[in-house]
Amino acid sequence: MGTLILNMVVGVAKIKINLFECNSLKEKRSILTSLIAKIRNNFPVSIAEVDKNDVWHKSVIGISLVSNDSSVIDSIFNKIIHFIDRVPLLEIIHTDFEFIHIN
């Protein structure tokens, strides 16, 4: 029997967001909780706020996804970016994608 070679790709995205007209951490948590729940319900990813937790007008969201094809991950990440872009009172100010290939 031959050796089975498995390819695995881990995609990681970091999205920096400005929140407009947000006047408290309670408002920020409400907006982000809703956004994160909607992304989880629509896309097969792990997602969490990973930085700027105590700053009420900014957030950094981390997203990860595992697949055997980096183009699938890239496509899903771009769909998430477009999804976030349609949310009123939010602005994406920076995105970083990284792909880790494991053989």
Tokens 């920096």 -> residue: 16
Task: Compute the distance between CA of residue 63 and CA of residue 36 in angstroms, rounded to an integer.
Answer: 10
Residue 43's pLDDT is: 97
4 band by pLDDT with thresholds 50, 70 and 90:
low
pTM tops 0.85: yes
Residue 21's pLDDT is: 84
Task: Compute the distance between CA of residue 84 and CA of residue 5 in angstroms, rounded to an integer.
Answer: 36
Task: Compute the distance between CA of residue 49 and CA of residue 33 in angstroms, rounded to an integer.
Answer: 9
How large is the average pLDDT for residues 56-71? 95
Output the CATH code of domain 13-102. Answer: 3.30.70.1120
Question: Which element (helix H / strand E) includes 28?
Answer: helix 25-42
Dump pLDDT digits (tens) for 20-48: 988 899 999 999 999 999 999 999 999 99
Pairing of strands 90-102, 58-67: unpaired
